[in-house]
Amino acid sequence: MYMKLEFLLWILFVFLIYSFIGWLVEVLFILIKEKRFVNRGITNGPMCTLYGFIVVILMLTLKDVENTFIVFGASMIYSTVIQYLTGKILAFLNKKVWWDYSNKKYNLEGYICLNYSLLWGFFGTVIVKLINPLLFGLFNSFNIYIAGIVELTLFGLLLVDLFTSFVTLKKIKLHKIKEHDDNFSNWLFSSIKKRMENAYPTLKRKSIKEMILSEGMTIYHIFYLFIICAFIGAVVEIFFCRFTMHRWMSRSSIIFGQFSFVWGFAIVLITILFSRYKNKSTFSLFILGTILGGAYEYFCSVFTEVVYGTVFWDYSKIPFNLNGRINLLFCFFWGFATILVVRYVIPFLMDLINRIPKKLFKPLAIGIAIFLLLDLGVSEIAMRRYKHRLEGYPARNVVDKLCDEYATNDFMEKRYSNMKWVNK
């Protein structure tokens, strides 16, 4: 499966359809429960983008999973984690609670609860197994160019709507909206503010007082944790391969330097999800780390296959594996890693990060981020050209020629030793 035009339009189609269906379900639920119409979307249009995003993730991640029980469990896990992270991010950006499940049993900070997680498991299974195959048939009946124009137009309008909504959120946070101002923009923002507070009453009455992350942790700390752990993860994997496979191999995600983004993002997620719960029982951390770590690694495998048409690891020969993407033994490793990271690694690295001089703290982070983005861009170009060479396409421009000279097939095969092309 590669990122071709038809496939991209199919993803966009699913996103738009389920964003609308999610909005419709929310509106009908409030209409039946409270006897009133409420636009429950973050946007002003009939869209609840969280639903569309979750379904796209479920569709891509679970496309090869045949076992219905695994699809159910995975739908619960992915949707719950996405909803939790979305609630956290919105609260972090706006310092307001968007939804609150504190009055429901088995909730976590009011962002998620067991009842809705079970519902997501059920509906995720129905969507992946039954509805999406029918929806794909409907999509294939459309003229691809007309469908593309319609979808891109709707998506463009949605982006404008989202931009307007988030500007309004920023104004709400800064208390800069004046209800009776004659200025048109303030009138517009005031109208959107009223709609949002009507749709999400907790926006008006409940502010976030507690820290979203651990005390003293900022976005810059998160970035430093990402880059340090991406480096450590790559080095650990290099030595692991040396002692288990008896050869040295690069485990980096990018061409320049040794940085494993899989490990970097994993530590960031562990930090966001667990840093405030380091005092939880070791067993609880192990179980959660095992389950969520496996789900994360499975998603990373699917992501690289969808975007690049490649997989960078294959566990097909290891017992108790799921489609070669994860296996039980390595899931246990994720569980142990979660305990170590939450209890020891994060506190140690936070102390180390806080020793960076204040004058260098932000500029250094920004400089490293720029380097990584450039490195990622070069790696992306080299990977695309490598794929095109294997398919027999000649160099068409100076960039292709530079890739052919420096990022040769031999270089790429050594840099990404375990990479396998997937033909689907």
Quick one: pLDDT at residue 240? 84
Give the tens place of pLDDT for each residue, 184-216: 556 556 666 666 666 666 555 555 544 455 666
Q: Is residue 408 scored above 60 in pLDDT?
A: yes
Give the tens place of pLDDT for each residue, 229-272: 999 999 988 888 888 778 888 888 889 989 999 999 999 988 88
What is the average per-residue pLDDT within 408-413?
90
Its sign, for the CA torsion 326, 328, 333, 337, is: positive
- Rounded to the nearest angstrom, the gap between the alpha carbon of residue 226 and the centroid of all alpha carbons in its chain is 15
pTM for the whole structure: 0.80
Tokens of 97: 């609670």
Count CA atoms closer than 13 A to 148's CA, side-chain side. Answer: 9
Q: Is residue 371 scored above 80 in pLDDT?
A: yes
What is the average per-residue pLDDT within 342-355?
91
Helical H segments across 129-255, by residue range: 132-140, 144-174, 184-199, 202-205, 219-245
Total Cβ atoms within 10 A of residue 54: 27
Q: Please state, in angstroms and as integers, the Cα–Cα distance from residue 371 to each residue in 175, 257, 258, 354, 355, following that order.
A: 37, 10, 13, 22, 22
Quick one: pLDDT at residue 213? 58
The Cα 24–Cα 46 span in angstroms is: 8
The Cα 79–Cα 126 span in angstroms is: 14
What is the average per-residue pLDDT within 95-113?
80
The answer to whether 234 touches 258, Cβ cutoff 8 Å, is yes
Closest listed residue to residue 12, CA positions, set 134, 107, 147, 146: 147
Q: Is residue 180 scored above 50 in pLDDT?
A: no
Tokens of 324: 């070669």
Quick one: pLDDT at residue 376? 93
Q: Is residue 413 scored above 80 in pLDDT?
A: yes
Q: What is the mean pLDDT of the chain?
A: 84
- Model confidence at 332, pLDDT cuts 50, 70, 90, reads very high
Q: Please state, in angstroms and as integers, the Cα–Cα distance from residue 219 to each residue in 159, 188, 213, 228, 237, following that order.
A: 25, 31, 10, 14, 27
